[in-house]
Amino acid sequence: MLKPNENGYYGEFGGRYVPPQLIPVLDEVTEAFLQYKDDPDFTEELDYYLTQYVGRPNPLYFCGKLTQKISGAQIYLKREDLNHTGAHKINNTIGQVLLAKRLGKKRIIAETGAGQHGVATATACALFDMECIIYMGEVDIKRQALNVFRMELLGAKVVPVTRGTKTLKDAVDEALEDLIKNYDHTYYMLGSAVGPHPYPWMVQHFQSIIGREAKKQILEAAGRLPDYLVACVGGGSNAIGLFSPFYQDKEVKIVGVEPGGKGIETGEHAASLSIGEPGVIHGFKCYTLMDEKGEPLPVHSVAAGLDYPGVGPEHSYYKDTGRAEYVSITDQEALDAFVELSRVEGIIPAIESSHAVAYGMKLAQKLSPDQILIINLSGRGDKDVQQVAEMVENGQYIVK
């Protein structure tokens, strides 16, 4: 797996672009991460919860019917949707909460947009008796009422953020202010492979269980490595989790799928890697979608979890060095894949994951039956069923 340099850079990407007061806080987290990541007691405790609580290892499922229907490459799904809480995010929050515990912190703060990271954080905090504060934009609170209730049910306090655009960016700002004031007893839990060093590296580490399992499972099932890996990319954590353990296996091709929204040409998308420029956002350098003043542009995706104007530094580096290719899938194509996987395999994917499924199906068609493709099914679609039903009802989406 790739490591950043001492200052947290992958090539020109990553680093720390934060107020000086945060440097000692990030140093403390870095030191703890380095001390514990390979520590036998820490690893044993993490493994225990990943097995007994999250339900790992989850299967690498061979999609016999879908493969037959497409009649191209063999399609396997890594079933992160079967984890407790229904997605990959829990791998990271369990890892980070154990680290916070080692640091003696009793209070966890996080920001959330769609609410999924908030729910995964609140879950880990309930399990480890941590006070849990979730910053969430007022606009997002209205849009994601059910996730707000879930977090509260899990014992978290959801703090409405009323400044600026009242969305994710403002929630990040408010969480960072809290951290600067309270860091002696507070730990900041970041939800994707983004943010200042060491977060992208730490999130890669905790999510890499996905790729480590998948590698072992495909060697058992097929006796060789896959030809392609495909995963959706929002901030990039489920994707880097699958990709990073295969980084050195140059024969394995890597494809990240970004949200193309209503089509790249309409400007309504969140395809940071496909058409963004290098810039600084939320404390680190990556490919971003920004205006001339350096302000993050409004982004759009039918998948709330992919709606982010930046992307992890490791992905930015994979793109520049050609280790991975990044493509985009539109809202329409993702919704078609959401329906297709449900019908053909009886698996309802998250709309985020449906982006990977959509591209995986297109790709498989062009390949031969002796080739192997692994798609990361980052989450289950139960959370999205109502949204799709409403889109069908008001004619925004027509089921073929």
Which residues of this protein are in contact with ligand PLP, per CB under 6 A? 87, 89, 116, 192, 232-239, 305-306, 350, 352-353, 378-379
CA distance 123 to 118: 9
Helix, strand, coil tally for the chain in percent (to 5): 50, 20, 30
**Nearer residue to ligand PLP within complex by CB, 60 or 74:** 60
Q: Which residue is nearest to ligand PLP (CB)?
A: 379
Q: How far is the CB of 184 from ligand PLP (least distance, A)?
A: 29
Q: How far is the CB of 376 from ligand PLP (least distance, A)?
A: 9
**Nearer residue to ligand PLP within complex by CB, 186 or 237:** 237
CB 113 within 8 A of CB 141: no
Q: What DSSP line would sit under 197-260, residue for residue?
A: TTHHHHHHHHHTHHHHHHHHHHHHHHSS--SEEEEE-SSSHHHHHHHGGGTT-TTSEEEEEEEE
**Which residues fall within 8 angstroms of residue 188, CB to CB, at 6 or more apart?**
25, 108, 109, 110, 175, 176, 179
Q: How far is the CB of 85 from ligand PLP (least distance, A)?
A: 9
**Ramachandran sector of residue 15 (left: φ over 0; alpha: ψ -120 to 50; beta: rest):** left
CA distance 386 to 281: 32
The total number of residues shown for the chain amounts to 400
185 labelled catalytic: no
**Nearer residue to ligand PLP within complex by CB, 90 or 108:** 90
The three-point CA angle 249-79-360 to 5° equals 60
Q: How far is the CB of 33 from ligand PLP (least distance, A)?
A: 18
132 labelled catalytic: no
CA distance 88 to 350: 11
**Nearer residue to ligand PLP within complex by CB, 88 or 197:** 88
**Nearer residue to ligand PLP within complex by CB, 72 or 151:** 151
Which residue in 63, 125, 132, 232 is the catalytic one? Answer: 63
φ, ψ of residue 265 in degrees (nearest 5): -65, -20
C-alpha radius of gyration, the chain, whole number: 20
**Nearer residue to ligand PLP within complex by CB, 93 or 353:** 353
- Bridge partners of 74? 372
Residues marked as catalytic: 63, 88
